[in-house]
Amino acid sequence: MNLLVLMIALPLLTAFLLSSINRISTLAARWIGPLVLLATAVIGLSVWPQLGAAPLALQWGGFQAPLGITLYADQFALLFALAMTIGTLLLWPRSAENQLRSSSLALLLAGTGSGLALSGDLFNIYVFYELMTVVSYGLIAGRGTSGSFASTLRYLVISGFGAALALAGIALVYQATGTLNLAQLAQLAPEKLNNLQGFAAFVLMLIGFGVKAELFPVNMWVPEVYATASSRVSALLAGVVSKLALLIIMRLLILVFHQPEALTVLLVLGILGVASGELAAWRARDLNRMLAFSSIGQLGVMFIALSIPGNAGIFAALAVMVHHLFLKPSMFLLAERWGGSIEKLAGAARTSPIAAALFVLLALSLIGVPPLPGFWAKLLVIMPMLALDQPLYYLAVFVMLAAASLEANYLFRVVMKLYDKQPAATSHKVHATADLATALFLGGGLIAAVFMLVPLADRLDSIAAQATDVSTYIQTVAPQQLQSGRVQ
Amino acid sequence: MDILDINIILYSAAFGLMLIGIGGIVISNHLIRIIFGIALLEAGANLLLLLSTYHEGASAPIIVDGSVPAMMADPVPQALVLTAIVIGVGILALALSLAIRVQRAYGTLDMREVRLKLEQEISENAGIEMPSSSHAPAVTTANSAAAQQESGS
Amino acid sequence: MTALDTLLLISAITVGVALLAGNWRVGGWLVTILYALQGAALLMMSGLGYSTLTVVQSSFSIEVLSEQLLWRFDALSWFFALITIGAGLFSSWFASGEWGERYRDNGGSLRLFHGALALNVFTMLVLLASGDLLTLFIGWELVSWASFLIMALAGGKAFGYAMRYISYAFAGAMALLGGLLLIYAEVGSFDFQSLKEAAPQMQASTLWLLVVLLTSGFGVKMAILPFHLWQAKAYAQTPGPGAAFLGAISSRMGLFAFIVVVVQLIGISRLVEMEIPFTFLDAQDLLAWIAVFTIIIPTYIALRQHDARRLLAWHGVGQTGYMLLGIVIANDLGSAGGLMHVFNYASYQAMLFMVVVAVIHRTGTSDLNKLGGLFTRMPLSYLAMLIGIIGLAGLPPMNGFVSKWLIYRSLIVDGSPLLFLGAVIGTLGTILSVYKLIHNIFLGQLRVEHVAVREAPLSMVIPMMALAVIVFVTGYFPGLVLDWTSAVQASIGIPVLAHHLGGVSMKGGLDMIWIVSVLLIGFGFGTLVFFLGGRSRRVHQLDNYAGGHFLTAETRYHYSDNFYPGLMHLIGPWYRNSFEWLERGVISAVDTLSTAMQGLYRNAHPSYLLLAAVVFALSWVIV
Amino acid sequence: MHFLELLVELLLMPILAFVIGLAMVLMMRRIGARIQRRVGPPVLQPIYDIIKLYSKDTQISHGLMHEIGIIMAVGGYIAAETLLPVPGLDGLADKGGAVTLAYMLMIPALGMALGVGQCANPNGSIGISRALTAMLAYDIPFILVIFGASYVYGTTNLAEMISIQQQQGVSSWGIVQMPLLALTALLILPAIMGKHPFEIYVAPAEIATGPMVEMSGKFMGGLFVMQCFQLYTAGVIFTTLFLGGGVYWITFLPKIFLVVAIPMSVAYLFPRYRTEDVLRLMWKWPMLLGLIGLAVVMK
């Protein structure tokens, strides 16, 4: 059962050993990374069916619950851990010059990501979160251009600020309950954290962890970073890493914080995120920045989905997250060669027809055209919101629908440019085969989702159900009754 | 001195530190001052974490040959703060090295100019002209005008 | 494998064949035969049209998100499917002849064209077969994207118009999605039946929101007044017979959905109860007045157009107003008139578009100021256009007259003179602009460059003539179509019209058999009277009296520009295209908002926001 | 009404209409002459004109459509006459009502327009565009009148209107029930007949006689026949809607001649209106009167 720990340990180990392996043979250094990721993915997949029945808790270092660090793995967490490893494998950085550095950073990212997904302790989450942030600084700045340094700096300022806030939030939680183990917190939260202090802790942690999840006030870094970083890195950041940050917030919402005001804060920030993201994307003139703004909008939709109380909210958020997981990386991969100004894309469909067709498919699924999964995800979000029959939720539905029509407008402006009859002056660079292959693989995933819609929906429903019942969480982590954490 | 005053003073110290840190980030435009702000913010947060289980007169929880002290302080936040400080140091070191790189590349540490140059760079390699609103009058201080000519020439 | 399944299967095969074999010489004919097969499959279900069958279920149904999606055909969908497949058949027949070769020669991909047309027909059949609100929306989206595809085929300017269309269509679809999900929240399920029962109890405020959302959603596709700007230009730019197909049926899908949801489920009677405060109008009057203005304004815009295709496309927008007016006045005459007008309009609009495309095929231009006198060169096309414009203007021998008569008669019975007046102003405008169309193309002086023009090729003339026969026969015996419309009325639940083969049997009714036969006898007597005089001698077109000034060969006096100076002098200043101004206003509002947001992301100091959030959080703790 | 009798009626009505029409044309020209203090043409002058035109040996035609146009004009009116009930002969009144009649009257106008179009003479086309604008002008108040009448009598069938007015005697005549609508109808009568104040499109002095510029011989003869039918139809419609229609010939004939005489005698006193003035005039006074009349009737 401790194979699961290998998912975290193995990538970290190889990351640090990489430079020494490189001294032995550069070929081994080049291929060891993907191999290790493949191994971790296989481990994860082997454990997956067994988790379907009952989630699994591991005590690190043998210390029993509230003191030691527990590792909690249910299908919900493992799904995102696997997404992290497979995502890094698919989006392996191909930058020519310092291949060694970027592959070790990628391995670190995979390791810390799966660690973050699986950890069951609040401070442990904070540590892994910080590790992941530092690694992403390395990846972004790795490009070497002065623009990447400046954007990394802006990113660092905001996420440093966010980290401090998260720490303050954790301090408040610890002061109130005396423990940081999520299971015990789940037990103590109803009476200890249900007051103002609990709500303040939640807001602080929301903003802290929201930096990576592109939450509205703290996503100012997104346009610059995605415009300067290489599109594989931005694909990783926008596609996978932002989902992990969202995973933490979902864990907190389900297990610890149950106040209704928490949901309204999420809803308001979600609406602002969608509105600002889509409107800014409407005027963007280069593809990278347009995709950055549209990812802000999409994550805004996820926050709105999260703000729906109960299982329906989690199920809707999960559906939108998985759909976005497939969609955004493949769009960023297409932006690898088409990154420049949209005007210059005129007639690009003639040089690379497959890529253009794929872009149309992705655009259709993003705006939610029926048979494609985007539509079902959007439907899942809107239906419970209308059932709640509150004015704020009606506003959210209106904003989402208006944003969808804006999306249709600017995405199809790009499509029109692609299929324009008279080509632009400069010749268009053809996509690297690896990029195109990965993008097609992810696009294929979308089309497969169209056909096996019903089983996929049931699978996601069961994952969401398993994630939301708090009692099994507490039972698996610490079967015997936990005494209060404080040592008097 | 009853227990209340100490707590009030310590908590206000923690919040004061955090507010000063945030103020540093928000108001100043100079890069190094912003990094100082982050450091102060980190310190404030760590102090807050430590204070979460502070008790007047509690001693370290070490059992010396069998004798258990009357009031033991909770060791957990101490451990947490250690890792938090380590992380803070890591981030600050990276921030400073980045600041050096930016200064070497853009020749200035003024955050507004850096942002303006970053915008120009993105627009150039994306092949679109500068968005009009970015020439807002905000960037009118004397040194930035000088920098403008210098970068313009 | 019910009849509906075979129909949808053949339609899907047509799409496949069109995409694969479109470019072959025989490809076009193959696709046309497949359309005929679809027509045969439809006729197997013809029981629906004569109300012997009520519903034909499809065996294919999927269960997703705890919702059972099912597809079925009823009389209404059968009626619309008949028109769709007919329009598809004639358009692809037209396209597979000489027009197809020339389209392929100058760069157009025939495969894509046939594929897009077949896809349009297939998605329309799927929409028509929708069994509940969710499948209705899915069908609706597919149709709007399929028509986007066929509009964007021509490239160049067509891209801009198709882009404008899809922004309108998608915004409308989002309004529709909001409306449908609002119904789901109110009623609890997507099924038609549950909405039908829940409609009476719904309180006025949600019903108003619902009606506004649904009508604007369907209105965008129907191009009724506030949303009509996209249609004329987009249809005019669609390549050749594609325009005929779109003009004939594409925007009627909006009407179909409107009938299904608003008329059948919510019910016009419910609309009548919804009062608009401070006015004596209610929802039904509002819709009627929107319909009347949709009749008048586009028709008088069409009057000023100088491109034949755009003139016809603007008429398309205008005639939708008649159908909506007929449906909204829900007495037996009005709804029969509205439904029959869908059929009539499809028949002669497709024919008129085909004639214009044939003229373009021969002369290379559709600009009314560069044509003239083609009657002597293209007599058959002239005949088709003559029958078409008599139908479009709604004059007796043709079927257009019957449906307009029904609508007028229902307005008289309903007792609303101002609506009647508006509709008549629309008809008169149509007569004027329709005469301008035929005069500028076929009558008047023949231009020097068109002397060598020959009659349109056979592959174009036959579909035109077939449509002309349909227009005349359904005009002579309107009972044929009235049977279908009464079956539809029965299935919807509106009072059924008492009719016989000749027309309407009621006090002050109409009997087209007698009227048309008397007209033909009259023409017979007219020829007798005409041949009393001596033999007439044909003279050359230059040999005419022009007030002492002799027309010479090189300067041909063909009066076509600014055709109605008197009228234009009076109503000229009324054209202030306030709707374009409205549209530009909306776009610039969104533009300024998005610049503001981009500014926010670029240089507004992000930390102010952070500061506000944090001060808020910390103050909670201290307080 | 078995079949053979109906056929005889269908034959008889147009011939009657033609003869009465000729008499009306004679009356009109006599009234015009009297006003201008001259003697006026002999009794059979209209017949002589038509015979002269038809017996010309050089008949110039500009093409097939030119001929079909004239045939449609004459034939259209012949068919329209069968819808107008006259004392003793009901014809096809119950098969199509007033609305059908209004549309049937448009077929001859369209036929003539197409015929003139084929003549390829720019003056002709200008004349036709003016004629259609004038038709647009007078048709709107005309439709208001028809709407008012069919709303009051509850049916569009002209024969039933007559029977209603006959049963309840003079008090139920149209002119008594809806005086304003009758006045409107009287105002637009000259325009329907295409006579003096509103005949810009055919006036010889304006644009070389407009549509008639290329008509000669039997084509002009056809238009003369059409003119007779026009006068007759206008007169009969007015009497049917407002003056209780015809039950006995001796009361019916004076009514229709009176109806045609009044506008004729008034018309010659007015100058000829330009096209946009026709529009402005028609859309102002008759429209206003019609709407007020309708409001009064519909209350």
Q: Taking the CB of residue A388, how many other CB atoms lie within 10 A of it? A: 15
Instruction: Answer whether C549 touches B (CB < 8 Å).
Output: no
Residues ≥6 apart with Cβ < 8 Å to A358: A330, A334, A439, A440, A443
Burial (CB < 10 A; 0-12, 13-18, 19+), residue C259, is buried
- List the domain range (segments joined by +) for residue A358: 259-478
Higher pLDDT: C536 or A322? It is A322
The confidence band for A104, taking pLDDT boundaries of 50, 70 and 90, is confident
* Residues D127-144, mean pLDDT to the nearest whole number: 88
CA–CA dist D103, D48 (Å, integer): 32
Instruction: Answer whether C599 touches B (CB < 8 Å).
Output: yes
The predicted structure's pLDDT at residue A21: 82
**What percentage of chain D has pLDDT greater than the value 90?**
7
Please name the member of C142, C610, C618 whose beta carbon is closest to the beta carbon of A218: C610
Whether the per-residue pLDDT at A65 is higher than 70: the answer is: no
CA C253 to each of CA C223, C266, C271, C397: distance values in angstroms, whole numbers, following the listed order: 11, 18, 21, 28
D contacts of C382 (beta carbons < 8 Å): 65
A contacts of B45 (beta carbons < 8 Å): 164-165, 167-168, 171
CA–CA dist D129, C433 (Å, integer): 10
Nearest alpha carbon to residue B108 among B69, B149, B73, B78: B149
CA–CA dist D43, B20 (Å, integer): 116
- List A residues 223-282 in contact with B (Cβ-Cβ < 8 A): 224, 227-228
The predicted structure's pLDDT at residue A488: 38
Q: Looking at the 3D structure of chain A, how many domains does it have?
A: 1
Q: Give B56's DSSP letter.
A: T
- List D residues 71-110 in contact with C (Cβ-Cβ < 8 A): 71-80, 82-83, 92, 94-97, 99-100, 103-104, 106-107, 110
As a dihedral over the C-alpha atoms of residue A304, residue A306, residue A310, residue A316, rounded to 10 degrees, the angle is 80
**What percentage of chain A has pLDDT greater than the value 90?**
14
Neighbours of C, requiring at least 3 CB pairs below 8 Å, are A, B, D
CA–CA dist C400, C322 (Å, integer): 11
Residue with tokens 């009972």: C479
A contacts of C214 (beta carbons < 8 Å): none
The predicted structure's pLDDT at residue A274: 92
Interchain pair C594, A282: CB under 8 A: yes
Whether the per-residue pLDDT at C468 is higher than 90: the answer is: yes
Using one digit for the tens of pLDDT, what is the confidence trace for C542-572? Answer: 777 666 666 666 666 777 777 888 888 888 8
**What percentage of chain C has pLDDT greater than the value 90?**
29
Do residues A237 and A226 lie in contact, with contact meaning Cβ atoms separated by under 8 Å?
yes
The confidence band for C159, taking pLDDT boundaries of 50, 70 and 90, is confident
* Residues C389-409, mean pLDDT to the nearest whole number: 91
The predicted structure's pLDDT at residue C552: 67
The confidence band for A397, taking pLDDT boundaries of 50, 70 and 90, is very high
Instruction: Answer whether C599 touches A (CB < 8 Å).
Output: no
Using one digit for the tens of pLDDT, what is the confidence trace for C65-105? Answer: 677 788 888 888 999 999 999 999 999 999 888 888 888 88
Residues ≥6 apart with Cβ < 8 Å to C59: C1, C2, C5
Whether the per-residue pLDDT at C614 is higher than 70: the answer is: no
Interchain pair C64, A454: CB under 8 A: yes
Strand partners, A73: A56
Q: Is C478 helix (H, G, I), strand (E, B) or coil?
A: coil
The confidence band for C597, taking pLDDT boundaries of 50, 70 and 90, is confident
Q: Give C393's DSSP letter.
A: H
Substitution target from C300, C386, C412 for chain D, most D beta carbons within 10 A:
C412
The predicted structure's pLDDT at residue C623: 47
Whether the per-residue pLDDT at A456 is higher than 60: the answer is: yes
CA–CA dist C345, A388 (Å, integer): 45
From C64-73, C246-255, D56-65, the region with the lowest mean pLDDT = C64-73
Please name the member of C156, C163, C590 whose beta carbon is closest to the beta carbon of A421: C156
Whether the per-residue pLDDT at B129 is higher than 80: the answer is: no
Alpha helices in A25-74 (DSSP H): 26-53
Interchain pair C605, B26: CB under 8 A: yes
Interchain pair A153, B95: CB under 8 A: yes
Give the pair of three-digit tokens for residue D137: 């002008």
Please name the member of C65, C181, C590 whose beta carbon is closest to the beta carbon of A282: C590
B contacts of A487 (beta carbons < 8 Å): 61, 72, 74
The confidence band for B138, taking pLDDT boundaries of 50, 70 and 90, is very low
Substitution target from A202, A405, A410, A419 for chain C, most C beta carbons within 10 A:
A405
DSSP A434-450: HHHHHHHHHHHHHHHHH
Q: Which residue of B has its CA nearest to A151?
A: B118
Read off the amino acid at residue C533.
G
From A343-357, C215-229, D43-57, D283-297, the region with the lowest mean pLDDT = A343-357
| Average pLDDT value over all residues in chain C | 85
Nearest alpha carbon to residue A302 among A368, A400, A209, A233: A400
Instruction: Answer whether C155 touches A (CB < 8 Å).
Output: yes
CA distance between the termini of chain A? 35
C contacts of D62 (beta carbons < 8 Å): 538-539, 541, 544
CA–CA dist C479, C461 (Å, integer): 27
Q: How many residues does chain C have?
A: 623
CA A301, chain centre distance (Å): 13
Whether the per-residue pLDDT at A107 is higher than 50: the answer is: yes
CA–CA dist C257, C263 (Å, integer): 9
From A297-301, A483-487, B90-94, the region with the lowest mean pLDDT = A483-487
Q: Is A146 helix (H, G, I), strand (E, B) or coil?
A: helix
- List b or e across D202-236, with b for residues whose CB sees 16 or more CB atoms inside 10 angstroms: beeebbbbbbbbbbbbbbbbbbbbbbbbbbbbbbb
| Average pLDDT value over all residues in chain A | 84
Using one digit for the tens of pLDDT, what is the confidence trace for C334-379? Answer: 899 999 999 999 999 999 999 999 999 999 888 888 888 888 889 9
Positive or negative, the Cα torsion across A457, A458, A463, A465? positive
Whether the per-residue pLDDT at A235 is higher than 60: the answer is: yes
CA–CA dist C35, C14 (Å, integer): 7
Whether the per-residue pLDDT at A431 is higher than 80: the answer is: no
Do residues A227 and A161 lie in contact, with contact meaning Cβ atoms separated by under 8 Å?
no
Most confident of A196-205, B133-142, C42-51, D142-151: D142-151
A contacts of B54 (beta carbons < 8 Å): none
Please name the member of B22, B134, B136 whose beta carbon is closest to the beta carbon of C614: B22
CA–CA dist A98, B37 (Å, integer): 33
Positive or negative, the Cα torsion across A67, A73, A77, A83? positive
CA atoms within 13 A on the CB side of A351: 18
Higher pLDDT: A143 or C434? It is C434
Neighbours of A, requiring at least 3 CB pairs below 8 Å, are B, C
The predicted structure's pLDDT at residue C342: 93
CA–CA dist C572, C595 (Å, integer): 38
- List b or e across C481-492, with b for residues whose CB sees 16 or more CB atoms inside 10 angstroms: bbebbbbbbebb
Domain contains A400 = yes
Using one digit for the tens of pLDDT, what is the confidence trace for D79-96? Answer: 988 888 888 777 787 787
Q: Taking the CB of residue C288, how many other CB atoms lie within 10 A of it? A: 26
CA–CA dist A124, A70 (Å, integer): 9
* Residues C457-461, mean pLDDT to the nearest whole number: 88
The predicted structure's pLDDT at residue A425: 66
Q: C536 — phi, psi (to 5°)?
A: -95, 145
The predicted structure's pLDDT at residue C124: 93
Interchain pair B105, A175: CB under 8 A: no
The predicted structure's pLDDT at residue C546: 64
The predicted structure's pLDDT at residue B131: 61
CA A142, chain centre distance (Å): 21
Neighbours of B, requiring at least 3 CB pairs below 8 Å, are A, C
CA–CA dist D261, D256 (Å, integer): 8
Distance (Å) from the C-alpha of residue C206 to the closest C-alpha of chain A? 11
Using one digit for the tens of pLDDT, what is the confidence trace for C484-516? Answer: 888 888 888 888 888 888 888 877 778 888 888
Instruction: Answer whether A413 touches C (CB < 8 Å).
Output: yes
B contacts of A289 (beta carbons < 8 Å): 122, 126
Q: Taking the CB of residue B57, how many other CB atoms lie within 10 A of it? A: 8
- Domain boundaries in chain D? 3-298
Whether the per-residue pLDDT at A483 is higher than 60: the answer is: no
Using one digit for the tens of pLDDT, what is the confidence trace for D241-274? Answer: 888 877 788 888 898 899 999 888 887 788 888 8
Whether the per-residue pLDDT at C389 is higher than 90: the answer is: yes
From A401-415, C69-83, D156-170, the region with the lowest mean pLDDT = D156-170
Nearest alpha carbon to residue C268 among C169, C199, C345, C191: C199
ipTM: 0.85
Domains and CATH numbers, chain B: 3-56+71-152 (1.10.287.3510)
The predicted structure's pLDDT at residue D207: 58
* Residues A220-224, mean pLDDT to the nearest whole number: 86
The confidence band for A305, taking pLDDT boundaries of 50, 70 and 90, is very high
* Residues A34-48, mean pLDDT to the nearest whole number: 87
CA C439 to each of CA C196, C228, C314, C443, C449: distance values in angstroms, whole numbers, following the listed order: 50, 27, 18, 5, 18
Give the pair of three-digit tokens for residue D222: 């056809």
Whether the per-residue pLDDT at A114 is higher than 60: the answer is: yes
The predicted structure's pLDDT at residue A213: 87
Give the pair of three-digit tokens for residue D10: 């269908």
The predicted structure's pLDDT at residue C577: 76
Substitution target from C602, C608, C623 for chain B, most B beta carbons within 10 A:
C602
Pairing assessment for the beta strands D59-61 and C536-538 based on DSSP bridges: parallel
Q: Give C538's DSSP letter.
A: E
* Residues A182-201, mean pLDDT to the nearest whole number: 80
Do B and D share at least 3 CB pairs under 8 Å?
A: no
Higher pLDDT: A244 or B119? It is A244
Interchain pair C536, D92: CB under 8 A: no
Strand partners, A286: A341
The predicted structure's pLDDT at residue B149: 47
The predicted structure's pLDDT at residue A34: 86
CA–CA dist D187, C526 (Å, integer): 31
Do residues A325 and A91 lie in contact, with contact meaning Cβ atoms separated by under 8 Å?
no
CA–CA dist A215, A217 (Å, integer): 6
Long-range contacts of C155-162 (CB under 8 A, 24+ apart): C155/A419, C155/A420, C155/A421, C156/A421, C157/C237, C158/C234, C158/C237, C158/C238, C159/A416, C159/A419, C159/A420, C161/C230, C161/C233, C161/C234, C161/C237, C162/A416, C162/C234, C162/C237
Using one digit for the tens of pLDDT, what is the confidence trace for B11-21? Answer: 788 888 888 88
CA–CA dist D161, C15 (Å, integer): 58
* Residues D26-38, mean pLDDT to the nearest whole number: 88
The predicted structure's pLDDT at residue B144: 42
Residues ≥6 apart with Cβ < 8 Å to D28: D195, D231, D260, D264
Nearest alpha carbon to residue C616 among B54, B22, A221: B22
CA distance between the termini of chain B? 66
Interchain pair C602, B138: CB under 8 A: no
CA–CA dist A304, A317 (Å, integer): 8
Give the pair of three-digit tokens for residue D237: 């419609």
Domain contains A369 = yes
The confidence band for C616, taking pLDDT boundaries of 50, 70 and 90, is low
C contacts of A284 (beta carbons < 8 Å): 598
The confidence band for A303, taking pLDDT boundaries of 50, 70 and 90, is very high
Substitution target from D128, D156, D164, D198 for chain C, most C beta carbons within 10 A:
D156
Whether the per-residue pLDDT at D189 is higher than 80: the answer is: yes
